[in-house]
Amino acid sequence: MNSNTAIHDDDKLQHETWTLEADKFHEECGVFGVFFEDPARDAAPLVYYGLLSLQHRGQESAGIAAVKDKTIECRKGMGLAGEIFTPDILSQLKGAAAVGHVRYSTFGSSTIENAQPFVSRFKLGSIAVAHNGTLTNADVVRELLEDAGIGFTSSSDSEVIVNLIAKNYKKGLEKALTDTIKFIKGSYALAVLTDDALVGARDPNGIRPLCLGKLSGGWILASESCAIDAVGGEFVRDVEPGEVIIINRDQVLSFSFSEKTRRAVCAFEYVYFARPDSVIDQVDVYGARVRAGEILGRESAVQADLVIGVPDSGTPAAIGYGRATGTPFGMGIVKNKYIARTFISPDQGKREKAVLVKHNVIKSEVRGKRVVLIDDSIVRGTTCKRLVAILKSAGAKEVHIRVCSPPVQYPCYFGIDTPHRKDLISNGTSASELGKSLGADSLAFISVEGLLESLETVGFPGVLDAIGDKSGDAPVSIKAGPGRSYCLGCFTGEYPIPVSGETGE
């Protein structure tokens, strides 16, 4: 379809807008926490800046909870962090420790009730939980808690965690956390605020990222290292799979709640979700993307005059492809960044007109040329199809699609919004058939081995400063974890933990 015709057809436009919105996997959430040792300081303003830096992980709602004098106050709302947290609202959040959350709904509907952090106030204290991930046994745990008389205010699986911790709290924080964490299954990166501590925890496979940073007089927990950089902190290290870190005024305590850990961080973090200036589990995201482009060039080079990336996440791989094949790299496509939210709000009626202004072609760059178009992934294919059409209508002689992730053929069960398997365009379709259906002259994906190679070859040393107690005694040693490995479930159908309905039909 020539996209220019769609502007006059509101029904088609609405449909296309929706499918474009759903044409990428979407990260579910980002978490951020700050703990200052000085009780006179306020953590919420820093958490706000952290959330702004994690906004790419969720644009539907945002929230911050802060604790002062053993009282947790929480403010949350629908929309972007910058819209919700006016100076007036931020000034209501007092206290030296705070956690924040940005959300894109997958589990639970898009309502303020499901916005995080979730706060529970009970006889022994109060806690606030910010969760990134999805519990695979949330229904079972919710039923057990409801049978025990515990009420829920939302449909979110994250509320299960807060209620479970609250239920176990009489055993003490450490025991409550370990009991809770042993009970829940699935993916979780948690930032938990109690009356006097900030706690981080990562599931035994480390599917969703979480890292630790240091500030002058304080500590940070963040989904991505880019947010630590943004608040002037120093990246310390990733929270290990199966690790809990408790930060309070006396100490920073780290312990492992699970002996059986097999690291399986989501490979899609490196392909698309994470910001390129982040480092996750010692792998530099930008470097991995460039390397994936180089490998793609080695695996499936084509004669061409220009290589361009689908902005923004296709750009590093296009640079890599250009380096590996000697194809000149150019810009080619411009993305309007200021309408991003229009595309990601899951359920609103204001998106109709935005689709046609999301991408445009620099005609002088592509006219008369054989173009290689690099995309990070193909989910439904609608974006690629449209880009091929506008490149050709701008005068490109040939358009060859190269994709720096393997075909997405299976759904994700670990906190990522995915369409039904039948709607994944690579499911049951060969690359050449798919290329034809998208109007391209050829199409090739990176192999699974190639993707893994891109992640194994750009190891980042990190700053593995050990954490210790405040007295400067021997620090808690950091175990050398098991070898780096990845979740590749949506590419291979093999998941790091059992899921129900693995075929995803």
Q: Which residues of this chain interact with ligand SF4, rule CB under 6 A?
A: 25, 207, 266-268, 412, 414, 416, 487-490
Minimum CB separation from ligand SF4 for residue 313, in Å? 14
CB 391 within 8 A of CB 361: yes
CB 167 within 8 A of CB 145: yes
The residue assigned the tokens 């044409």 is 23
Look up residue 46 and give its two tokens: 């820093």
Q: Which of 29, 226, 384, 412 is catalytic?
A: 29
The amino acid that residue 71 corresponds to is T
Specify the residue, 209 or 218, whose C-beta has the smaller distance to ligand SF4: 209
198-202/243-247 β-pairing: antiparallel
Specify the residue, 48 or 270, whose C-beta has the smaller distance to ligand SF4: 270
Specify the residue, 198 or 412, whose C-beta has the smaller distance to ligand SF4: 412
Minimum CB separation from ligand SF4 for residue 443, in Å? 21
In 223-263, the DSSP E strands lie at 234-238, 243-247, 252-256
Q: Which residues 6+ apart lie within 8 Å of 436 measured at CB?
A: none
Minimum CB separation from ligand SF4 for residue 490, in Å? 3
29 is catalytic: yes
Minimum CB separation from ligand SF4 for residue 298, in Å? 23
Specify the residue, 187 or 248, whose C-beta has the smaller distance to ligand SF4: 187
CB 408 within 8 A of CB 502: no
370-375/398-403 β-pairing: parallel
CA distance 105 to 59: 9
Specify the residue, 250 or 449, whose C-beta has the smaller distance to ligand SF4: 449
3-state SS class at 20: helix
CB 469 within 8 A of CB 250: yes
211-215/218-222 β-pairing: antiparallel
The residue assigned the tokens 């390129």 is 276
Minimum CB separation from ligand SF4 for residue 499, in Å? 9
Minimum CB separation from ligand SF4 for residue 33, in Å? 22
Minimum CB separation from ligand SF4 for residue 361, in Å? 30
Q: Which residues 6+ apart lie within 8 Å of 484 measured at CB?
A: 263, 265, 281, 282, 283, 455, 456, 459
C-alpha closest to that of 210 among 60, 37, 29, 36: 29
Helix spans in 394-467 (H): 431-437, 448-456
Specify the residue, 286 or 414, whose C-beta has the smaller distance to ligand SF4: 414
Q: Which residues are catalytic?
A: 29
